[in-house]
Structure formats: C-alpha cells, structure tokens
Amino acid sequence: MAAVSDVNQFVATQDGGNPFTGPPQGDNPFAKITDNVVRVMAAPRPPRAWYIAFGISLSLLTMFFGSIGWVAWTGIGAWGNMMPVSWAFPIVNFVFWIGIGHAGTLISAILFLLRQNWRTSINRFAEAMTIFAVVCAAIFPGVHIGRPWLPYYMFPIPNQMGMWPQFRSPLEWDVFAVSTYATTSILFWYMGMIPDFATFRDRSKSVAKRISYGILAMGWRGSSRQWHRYERAYLILSALATPLVLSVHSVVSFDFATAQLPGWHATIFPPYFVAGAIFGGFAMVVVLAVPARQFFGLKRIITIDHLELMNKIMIATGLLVGYAYGMEFFIAWYGGNRTEGFTFVNRAFGPYAWAYWTMITCNVLSPQLFWFRKLRRNPWVTLAIGMVINVGMWFERFVIICTSLARDFLPSSWGYYIPTPVDFMTLGGSFGLFFTLFLLFCRYLPMVAMSEVKAFHPSVLAHAHGGGSHGDHH
C-alpha cells in the first residue's frame, strides 16, 4: 500500500495558469516532497481559485456571525424551534459537525495503529478538517442555550451560588467529551506539524515567516534523540485518541439514547452514530482533498489510489449505516412496543417522509456507485458523491431529531417543525467558518505531513526491509 505515494510518478496536468501544477524541484525524492508542499507557502500568491473560494467563504462567515449576533440580540425566537421540536437545527448542526470531525482522528490515530501507511498523505488534511469541524460544532450548543454569555455554567467553576454542574447528565458528559476531543485533536495536529514547521522555517525567505514558523517549530532541528521521544509521544497520542474518538460520538448519542422518547431510546445508537460519523467524515475529507490536490498541485502525493482507498472505506461505512437504518426498524417491530413501531412507520411515511427518503438515497444508495472501479477512481465523481453523502448525513440527524420530537407520546402536543431564514443562514454560515479556516490552513500551514511521507517513501521502506538491519552489524 505504501507504494502509492510514489513522488517520482509524473502526472501531466492541463491548467497552465496554476503555478503549482509543474513537477516539484529537487535532485532526490525527499527534496521533491519538500518542494511540493513548501512551494504553496513560499509562493507570493495562491491560485485564483483560492481567492474566489476565500471570498465566498468569508461572506458566508460574515453571514454566520451576523445571524448568531441577531439571535443573541433578539433571542432564540428568531429560529423555528418551537415545542415539541425544541432541539431542531442547532442540535442537528452540532451533531452533523461533530460527526464530520471524526474522520481526522480516525485517519491519524486508528489507521496509524493499524499501520496503514497510505494515511500519511491525507492525515494532516483530515486532522485540520477535524479541528475546524469541532470549532463549528462547539458554537451551536453555546448559541442554543439562548444566553450565549453563560456557557461557563457548564464547567465546574466555583461560584457565588455554591452550585455545581450535574455530572450524571449526558449533556454534561458532552461538554467534557467535546472539549477533551477538541484539545486532543489540536495538540495531536500541532505535534504532528512541529517537524514540518521546522521545514517551513528553514525554507522561508522572509524574516516574518522565519520568526512565525520558528516560534511554531519551537527549535526543532530533527535530532534523532528528539525523534525517539517524538515518535513515542505520537504512538501514545494515537493510543489515547483511538478510544477517545469512539467515545465522543458515543457520548453524543447518549444525549438521545438516555432519553425516553421513542426513536431516541435505542441501545444501537452509539455504534450507529460512530459509523455514521466516520462515513460523513471521510466524505468531507474527499470533498476537501479533491479541490486541494487539484489547485495546489498535490496530485503526486495525494494520488488517485488514496482517493480510491477512501472511497472503499465509504462503501463499508455506508453499508454499516444502511444496516443501522434497517436494524432500527427491526428492533421497533421485534420489540413489540406500539409507540416505537408507530415512530418508525411515521418516520418513513409520515410528514417527514421526504427527509427520510432523501437520507436513504444519499447515504445508502449513492455510495453503491463506488462498486464500479471507474467511478471510484474518478476524482470528480468522488467529489460529487462526497457532497451528496454530506447532505445525507445532515438529513440523518434531522430525521432522528425532528421526526422523533414532532410525534411524542401525547398526540395533543404533536407539531411540525418549520425552520426560519435565520436557521438556514446559521447553517450556511457555519460552512463559511469551516471553509475560511480550511483555506487559511491550505495557504499557511503544511498541508501534508512531509516527514511522514518521506519516512514511508518506497526507497526508504525498500532499504529498511530488504536491505537488512543496518543497526545490527558492529
């Protein structure tokens, strides 16, 4: 599998206006890898597509802060949330974004422990994506409480009321799970970038860049004695992040599973949510990776083979998610609970049937196209299906939250949730925040883990495994 990141493989590109499409400079494979990544940072300006994307993202970001500011000013009546559907968009968006944020750590930690070396070309991307998605996610519960200046009540801070948070509540577990996950992801991401910051520092021309990257690199010079502790720390972080990533979406699913509402009260939720998170997260990785490799000339590092592997994971997790959808119906029928049975029939054929079947089409049917090798290896098809899956995963959370709440135990309190324009502006705006951060990352931070790609370069691996043990002969 390691052979896929062959930098010597030359991929011809058509668009001549892009400064990053030419072959990377260097007289050896390591120098070529460095140049391929560093030239994005070193270039005086990014490609025009970057400016267009950044402009759109920035306007969406403005809309995001505008709509949140409006809600903070007028109160959450600006949203369509209304009893019985009191969670609605804010929590749908929260679960959607936190789900996206799972692929990064999965790729960096779990695939690392499983020795899937192909991860090296995409892990930095995925980690960055994770952090930006968690940033988007964390905003929603903070706004949803209605008084966005009071979220510190959720933390155990000694106060004049002598009160403490309620630690037996899944909502409180959420606070700890998400903040631990955010901290771990940021530290993991930062630690992975330290050697690459050093490379950026040593290749920077301007003093400002040398100082900035120098501070970030903390004086890393590639000492082997330091590498030893660094690698050990990386392994430990992976081992810690692996159960953590599985715990985060499990805890998020407890918000629902511990409630007694039909459609939420299900033990299948933790694994079902984790599978969905990985599915949606991988879809978002390809959505980001396909344009990024196109515009920044990273096709030699993020190859079609990598995209194909990710698409295969999407088939697998898509089938898992489809199985969970089916199993929910089976449990509702087999459990013999009439209310539960009604909830699921209502989900598929009730007033929200349009949302349910959108979800099934996007999440279960669309990834089946990846069974065809031709489609699997086409980056634009991958991009399109990745987007469709993201739509589907958003609808999955919408279906779970809104259909269950809209039909609770008392028929007299039934309702139908209709979002307001502010709801849509907040959702659309969160993509602005996400893409603004991601585009800044592409421009200023090492997009690919250079040291890891070099360490798994075919020539190094061939020598390490085939050439015998160099450290042994005395």
Partner 1 sequence: MSHAHETQKKPTGPAPLHGLLAEYESPWELVDAATKVRDAGFSRWDTYTPFPVHGIDKAMGIRMTILPWLVLGAGLTGLASAILLQWWTNAYDYPLLISGKPFWSIPANVPIMFELTVLFSVLTTLGGMLVLNGLPLPSHPLDLKERFARATDDRFFLLIEASDPKFDAKDTRALLDSTKPAVLDEVLEDRATPSEFPKALVYGMVILTAAAAVPFALAAKARFSKSRSPRVHLIQDMDSQPKYKAQRENPFFADMRAQREQVDGTVAVGELRDDDHLFRGKIGPEYARTFPPQIPLDEATVARGQQRFGIYCTPCHGFAGEGNGMVAQRAELLASTGAGKGMAWVPPSNINQAYLRQQPVGQLFDSITNGVRNMPAYGAQISTEDRWAIVMYLRALQTKSAAGH
CB of 331 to partner 1, least distance (A): 23
- Own/partner contacts of 106-113, CB < 8 Å, gap of 24 or more, are 106/245, 106/278, 106/281, 107/285, 108/188, 108/192, 108/238, 108/241, 109/188, 109/237, 109/238, 109/239, 109/241, 109/242, 109/245, 110/238, 110/242, 110/245, 112/234, 112/235, 112/238, 113/238, 113/239, 113/242
CB of 206 to partner 1, least distance (A): 15
CB-nearer residue toward partner 1: 227 or 323: 227
CB of 454 to partner 1, least distance (A): 4
d(CA 251, CA 246): 9
Q: Cβ(329)–Cβ(342) under 8 Å?
A: no
Alpha-carbon distance values, 361 to 214, 320, 385 (Å): 49, 15, 11
Tokens of 217: 């690199």
CB-nearer residue toward partner 1: 31 or 331: 31
Q: Cβ(84)–Cβ(265) under 8 Å?
A: no
d(CA 254, CA 328): 16
Tokens of 392: 């589907």
CB of 168 to partner 1, least distance (A): 4
CB-nearer residue toward partner 1: 109 or 385: 109
CB of 268 to partner 1, least distance (A): 18
Of the candidates 301, 289, 314, the residue with the CA atom closest to the CA atom of residue 379: 289
| Phi, psi angles (nearest 5°) of residue 415 | -155, -175
Of the candidates 416, 444, 370, 37, the residue with the CA atom closest to the CA atom of residue 206: 444
Tokens of 201: 């520092």
CB-nearer residue toward partner 1: 102 or 376: 102
d(CA 4, CA 118): 7
Of the candidates 405, 372, 399, 110, the residue with the CA atom closest to the CA atom of residue 272: 399
CB of 161 to partner 1, least distance (A): 9
Tokens of 401: 């939250």
CB of 258 to partner 1, least distance (A): 10
CB of 369 to partner 1, least distance (A): 38
CB-nearer residue toward partner 1: 13 or 179: 179
H helix intervals, 258-303: 269-295
Residue with tokens 């790729």: 107
CB of 42 to partner 1, least distance (A): 13
CB-nearer residue toward partner 1: 34 or 67: 34
269-295 helix and 224-257 helix, angle to the nearest 10 degrees? 130
CB-nearer residue toward partner 1: 45 or 474: 474
CB-nearer residue toward partner 1: 373 or 463: 463
CB-nearer residue toward partner 1: 188 or 256: 188
CB-nearer residue toward partner 1: 224 or 412: 224
CB of 462 to partner 1, least distance (A): 11
